[in-house]
Structure 1
Amino acid sequence: MTLDQKLQQLTGAKPETLPDLPECFGGRHVSGIAELDIPTFRITNGPVGLGQNDCVSHEVAKNVLHMPGFGDISQAYSHSSSAKATALPSAVGAAASFDPAVGAMYGDVIADEMRALGLHVFEAPGVNLARLPILGRNMEYFGEDPYLSGAMAVAETKALQSKGLIAMVKHFVANEQETNRQTIQENVDRQTLRELYLLPFEMAVKDGKVAAVMCAYNYVNGQSSCENKEMLTDVLRRDWGFTGYVQSDFFAMKSTVATLNNGTDHEMPLPLHWAPAKIKAALDSGEIRLSRIDEALERRYTQAFKLGIFDRKLARQPIDVAAGGRKAREIGGRATVLLQNNGALPLRHDLRSLVLIGKASQVYAQQAVAGGAVVGEPMGAGGGSSDVVPHYTVPPIEGLRNALKELGNGQASVKLILVDDANAIATIDGQSVDFAQALAEAGKADAVVMMAGTISEEGADRATFTDKSGKQLAAPASLGSGLDWYTGHSNTITTKDGDNRARNSGTVAMINRLMAAPSTSGKPMAGKTVLVLKDNAGVAMPATLVGTKGPAILEAWFPGQEDGNIVADALFGRINPSGKLPVTVPFEGKGFLDHVTTSQFPGVISPDGKVQTVTYSEQLAMGYRWYDANPSGTCAQAKGGNSCVAFPFGHGLSYTSFSVGRPALVKGKTRDTWQVEASVTNTGKRQGAQVLQSYLSLPASANSYGAKQPPRRLVGFARVELAAGETRKVSIPLDAKASHHPLGVWNEKAHQWVIPKGRFTVWLGVSSALPDLKMAGTIER
């Protein structure tokens, strides 16, 4: 290759009509070199399907190529005319299955459609953690636990790469905030990085053999992610043995020389910092060596050769729309979590009347929901990386009506009630009435289904700021995690007095009034009412809704294109919910966000106003670990559980019941392996699945290495499907040498993982809550 050819291959191409695929105008590729048989290398965004996949309408070219200053170039990457694909349920929903087989199914759908559309690289899985419940991209990730996130990422990665495609784990690393993501400085001590935020990446590298890693926008401990030698070279390559390549997030790079020398191999989407003139100048000055350019290309080419990309002719064909829809529906069913049930679920198949209730200003009861959904706009019109344009969507009302018809009850009345933010005016199937009449309609109905949630997407967190700089909160961060808070466009930093200021939907007040309304159907409201949640990663729950006087609550996350069918399947019992929470659901006013400091979010501003720094001062006390450790001193551990927690991490009910026998810790064949075992019995009358979860408590000596260890950490899980009355023995492996270091603590002084001395306690149960766990045994080291 000539130097010019090498430099052309180092970066993405300017938006163009693809010579190999003239029907596509795209900007997510590296142009091929025909005389060297180097194919065009095509990249699609993720993680919830093929969003922004290098093929938009040629009409976009007019705006991009023929306007001063190169036009609105962003349209080449994210226009809603993008080639259509299956809009899957959100990644956090897939994680709620607690089943790597679902992660593999997720990867299979994506891989099949990538092959059909002539794509090579999937910019996912995303494994950043739900440190902040209001993080705008939580729906793209796998929740708050690093081991669960890593296990799902490994399964998805293996599925993708088994079909000759490149998986790209992202965003490396500590990218747990969207607010000012391009400039935010994240300070995270090395032990916390290793034990939490780096762990799923390490699993993806070691167990998934992931071919690519994406460096992020943020700074980590003083260095920009894409020029962070400690992370990209010392940790990723030297410590973990990563042999793939590192690509920048779009427009994430901040320099020319440091990015290339410190470990980034590919700039996307344009030759900006790695423009030929800049690289040649660095070569001439000796700041960059030609051998480093060769190495960067070899790393990427090696993965492309290994996965057969050089051997496949670039072509597109129709995707299997029906097959994608079926799998999306199955994944969505496995994602649903039954949080509580006061007798309303499953809904009777012979009911005479059902009302579906939601807010007129919200999408949940009106449209199929994905990240960034906006009332009145089709799916694919917003959502950032999760912006998939589907061939069809199934709205909630359509799903409910179709389900009743298929169950032989097509004559049942199903009405849609939409309520204004003030809870004064409503519409019933489009006819305007006052809210009192809507309450009466709900009172006489056989079943009431309410839908609510939280919309979010890439570009902003669910928080309100004093101005558009996003540097100072205008209200407590916790407001964004509630059901009432919303904005017109969730991808924009909201301000107290700006055009996109936060609003109050009055959702909680509406639900409380519905629950207090008199029922004239023969069943109390709590016994016939369901709240379906659709949100990015759980929502802080009002105490009025939790308990025997509240509605049944079903968590559906963002269901994607099959929304209506997925929810109807769960409501009518066509599937038996078996999902478990991959995040903790706190009571309103009692969550981590109610105790967060400015230094934890959105960051402290330097005296000159130029640098905003976030410090992960909670260290290992993140997610359920924070609630268990109780650093705020407000979360009492009572017999019924944690007083701050409405529904704990790992919680999920079923339409059947289970009993778990006495667990045991059985020694394995080698010194460092064990099996955590117990029998599980389906004591109910219908088939269902239970997820057993294994947690581990470290000895007190573990705290001597720096950060205080939380009371428990998840170290294993297993999903078991059981017929009514069936009993099966479940065995969960525990291997001290596994890539997630279940017994390990990071010793920064020695720069290695160590197993502390003392007694380890192994727990087994059905959630992270202490009342749901039984001691399986202890390990002495």
Structure 2
Amino acid sequence: MNNEHTTTPELNVLAHSSHNGSFPWMDKSLSPRERAEKLVAAMTLEQKLAQLHGAMETINIYALPTADEMNAMSAEEQEQLMAQIQVQRHVKGIEELGIPRFRITNGPVGVGMGDGHPSPPATALPMSIALAAGFDPGLAREYGDIIGSETATLGQHVLEGPGVCLHRTPIAGRNFEYFSEDPYLSGVMGVEVTKAIQAHDVIAMGKHYVVNDQEYERFRTSVEVDEHVLRELYLLPFEMLVKDADIAAMMSAYNRVRGVYATENRYILNDILRDEWGFQGYVQSDFWSCRSCAGSLNAGMDHEMPDAKWCNETNIKNALEDTSLEIQTVDRALVRRFTQMFRFGQFERPYNPGVIDAKKHGAISRKIGSQTAVLLKNDGGMLPLDPKAYGTIVIIGQSEFVDDACNGGGGSSKVVPLYTVPPVEGMQEVLQSLGSNALVSKVTVAKDLANIGEAKTAAAEADLVILMAGLVASEGADLPSPNMLNNQNRMLDELLEVDTPTVVVTKDSSPVLMPWIVKAPAVLEAWNQGTEDGHVVADLLFGVVNPSGKVPTTYPVSEDDLLYAGHPERYPGTDEGNGFPVIRYSEGLNMGYRWFQSQGIKPLFPFGFGLSYTSFALSEFSVTPAQADSKSPVTVRVTVTNTGKVAGAEVVQVYLGIPVTGQPPKRLVGFQKVFLEPEQSQEVIIMIDPSATNHPLSVWDYCARDFVVKPGEYTVYLGTSSEDTPCKATVVVS
């Protein structure tokens, strides 16, 4: 393993003190904005225009492969393509002004496609969906700390993440980059990741703003969504990023919002983001999401990436000439970005990439992964396994899940890992550390199941079978269905017939259907784990770590249970004569667990669900005050007791029933993860503050054009999943 990076000679004049006197914008006694304004005032028109866009040679986005063509490519071909088009993720520096080359790297699941070729390797972390399953802001801080540290070490200025779009459907191709189906959970985790990234003087960039909840026809689709739905669900985590994390940048989405491209949507980019929320950062286009020059800049987009397809010198000069664009608007865009660069000391920092502490960060990734996996089923307490009870163990599955660590997530966020721990090697190492002499082997099943007979024979001859299956999604295309690909359901169904103790480990980017689950005594959702896959799975199966993850997005029993079943207008959209597909969020607020509860549909695994190797009891529940005004916090208390025999963690979840017509039955408003030793108890206190940025008691009021707390009887639910809420009380709000 070699993770050293050589220093590339390039612009470092910005660090030389000789320029500080001649560059008034290098005066640190000035505010970042004052410095940015002085810099822009000193720039020529040509210099300004060169700073409005990335440095990649302009290409035709329509010449890129279609979703079907991408799906037909091998993983290696997809990676080569993405590497080819994303090696120049920067803005060229201007030496005579001391402006550094502005380096941008992708996220949000680690340092992905960074500036330079090849992309610098980094720690491949568990996917964002896995992090959300941890239901732990502390884990999110550790996760963001690794990303921020490695971004800074590699000399990059911007990390494109976190992603806080919602899991509206389980088939969306980028669900692995996003946290969950719930806006509050997504916002909480995104805020902590953002704070941790920016603590390393790296610009964090929230994405994809907004309603980029599907990859299907992402360059063309228009999303039609009611204002209260947009505000209460899809905008909410972005609002939390701005108000709670002071995020430095936003990335505008590919899609249209109500017929207007997100990069040209002044209502979204200016009226809401800046005027209402007070955002002080800058807006970057997603790669090739910019669709105009004057229109985008006027609307509030400040920086085109990755090239100058629209914001080039010719277009901008023409727009200035015909007055469809004002020079003050150009200046505004540059001041916004330079302000953030000065805020984080990026003009003073020379490019001097260092060496990532792969071992240290890998250990943290292993910890994060082990606390985010979800124990979905454990009949008869089969897990944890006794490491000394088996002489031979066979791991069976298709190549992506058994041959190497499952470093999932295709597309621009793909991380080139510093190292990986494959399943067999990782399990063997963990077993040896536990004093076991068990021999671990594997059988790689062909995608067409041509060698399923060999796999059955190996399963029958082993003392223990670990079946590994899953789903690795990718940017650029949605999944055809929530089923695992390449006949894996049939593979599991047949292998679960073998009369050998068997555990199923799923490694998913998104919730999947499990038609075989009645045959499986134990199922562990490990997600796409990245670097430490082999160790994490073994730690959990053999009880080194007690699983404590919770499902961040509902698992359906059938695709017929999903909100788009029988409703093509909801997904994939319909052609309404506009010349582009239109997707209508006609389900309103009933998305995710809200959909299942409002329709009376029983899910396979509800939002917030997750088992443990121990048991917990809730007692001494109380909610105060019983009567409150619209501004008074509500305090929820409960005592959690570990009633089992091993240490473990439980996630206490608080939901509200809002007494307003059209509201879903429950809304998550608070949660806390509690780690307890056997027989240990702890009081948990969760505050529901009406003034919090997630507007826990409020609904969007069309007349007030604001969030408003309506009077009435609010129901407070407390439990350990969205369905399991045995504690209940009411609060009357005047």
**Same fold (TM > 0.5):** yes
1:559 is matched with 529
1:696 aligns with: 656
Q: Which residue of 1 aligns with 2:109?
A: 48
Which residue number corresponds to residue 400 of structure 1? 427
Q: Give the deviation of 1:607 after TM superposition.
A: 4.0
Q: What TM-score do you get using the length of structure 2 for normalisation? A: 0.87
SS at match of 1:531: strand
Q: Which whole-Å CA distance do the structure 2 matches of 1:14 and 1:482 have between them?
A: 38
Deviation, 1:650, is: 0.2
Secondary structure of 2:138's aligned partner: helix
How far 1:355 sits from its partner (Å)? 3.5
Out of 149, 153, 159, the position equivalent to 1:116 is: 153
For 1:506, which of 476, 479, 487 is the aligned residue? 487
- d(CA) in 1 for partners of 2:699 and 2:725? 26
Structure 1 residues 712 and 419, CA gap change in structure 2 (3 angstroms): same
**Deviation per residue, 1:158-200 (Å, 9 max, x gap):** 1111121110000000001101101111111111000000000
- The answer (yes or no) to whether the contact 2:108–2:163 under 8 Å persists in 1 is yes
User: How many residue pairs align between the two structures?
Assistant: 662
| Aligned partner of residue 85 in structure 1, secondary structure | coil
Q: Is the 8 A contact 1:660 1:681 kept in 2?
A: yes
1:344, distance to aligned residue in structure 2 (A): 2.0
Corresponding residue for 2:606?
648
Q: Cα offset for 1:590? A: 4.5
Contact 1:577/1:654 (<8 A) preserved: yes
Find the residue that maps to 1:539 and give its secondary structure.
Answer: coil
CA drift of 1:605 comes to 1.5
Does residue 1:538 correspond to 2:511, yes or no? yes
Residues 354 and 449 in structure 1, CA contact (< 8 A), matched pair in contact too: no
Alignment of 1:323-722 (within 5 A): 323-342=360-379, 343-360=381-398, 362-372=399-409, 383-409=410-436, 411-420=437-446, 423=449, 425-426=451-452, 434-435=453-454, 438-463=455-480, 480-483=481-484, 486=485, 505-519=486-500, 528-542=501-515, 544-546=516-518, 550-592=520-562, 595-607=565-577, 610-630=579-599, 635=601, 642=602, 645-667=603-625, 671-699=631-659, 702-703=660-661, 708-722=662-676
**Alpha-carbon shift at residue 687 of structure 1 (Å):** 1.1
Superposition deviation, residue 579 in structure 1: 0.7
Letter in 2 for 1:561: T
Q: How does 1:16-415 map to 2 (within 5 A)?
A: 26-56=87-117, 81-342=118-379, 343-360=381-398, 362-372=399-409, 383-409=410-436, 411-415=437-441
Task: Provide the secondary structure at the position in 2 that maps to 1:53.
Answer: coil
State the secondary structure of the residue aligned to 1:762: strand
Distance 2:427 2:288 in 1: 43
Give the root-mean-square deviation of aligned CA atoms. Answer: 1.9
Contact in 1 for aligned 2:470/2:506 (Cα 8 Å): yes
Measured in 1, the distance between the counterparts of 2:719 and 2:560 equals 25
In structure 2, relative to structure 1, the CA distance for the partners of 1:666 and 1:356 (3 Å cut) is farther
C-alpha distance in 1, partners of 2:554/2:392?
Answer: 31
Shift of 1:453: 1.1
- Taking the aligned partners of 1:756 and 1:534, their CA distance within structure 2 comes to 43
User: Closer, same or farther in 2 for the Cα pair 1:279/1:421, shift >3 Å?
Assistant: closer
Q: What's the offset of the Cα at 1:408?
A: 1.6
Identity in percent: 46
Q: Contact 1:49 / 1:85 at 8 angstroms: preserved in 2?
A: yes
Inter-partner Cα distance in structure 2 for 1:422 and 1:202: 46
CA displacement, residues 482-517 of structure 1 (integer Å, 9 cap, x when unaligned): 13xx2xxxxxxxxxxxxxxxxxx3322332333333
Q: Distance in 1 between matches of 2:152 and 2:272?
A: 32
TM-score normalised per structure 1 = 0.82
Q: Cα distance, 1:154 vs. partner? A: 0.3
The amino acid across from 2:382 in the alignment is A
* Deviation at residue 778 of structure 1 after TM alignment: 2.3
Would you say the 8 A contact 1:371–1:386 is kept in 2? no
Match of 2:728 in 1: 775
Q: 1:86 to 1:421 in 2, by over 3 A?
A: closer
Distance 1:15 1:160 in 2: 29
Shift of 1:455: 1.8
Q: Please tell me the residue identity of whatever aligns with 1:774.
A: C
Gap runs ≥5 in structure 1: 17-24, 57-80, 373-382, 427-433, 464-479, 487-504, 520-527, 636-641
Cα offsets for 1:53-104 (capped at 9, x unmatched): 1021xxxxxxxxxxxxxxxxxxxxxxxx311111111000000000111111
Which residue is equivalent to 1:379? none
CA distance in 1, matches of 2:302, 2:388: 61
Kindly state the Cα deviation for residue 132 of structure 1 after the two structures are TM-superposed: 1.1
* Residue 760, structure 1, aligned to residue 714, structure 2: yes
Question: Is the 8 Å Cα contact of residues 711 and 732 (structure 2) preserved in structure 1?
Answer: no
User: For residues 285 and 122 of structure 1, what CA distance do their matches in structure 2 show?
Assistant: 36
Aligned to 1:12: 54
- Which amino acid in structure 2 is aligned with residue 481 of structure 1? P
Q: Which amino acid aligns with 1:347?
A: L
Q: Give the distance between the partners of 1:420 and 1:537, measured in 2 at CA.
A: 23
Deviation at 1:412, TM superposition (A): 1.2
In the alignment, residue 225 of structure 1 is paired with which amino acid?
A
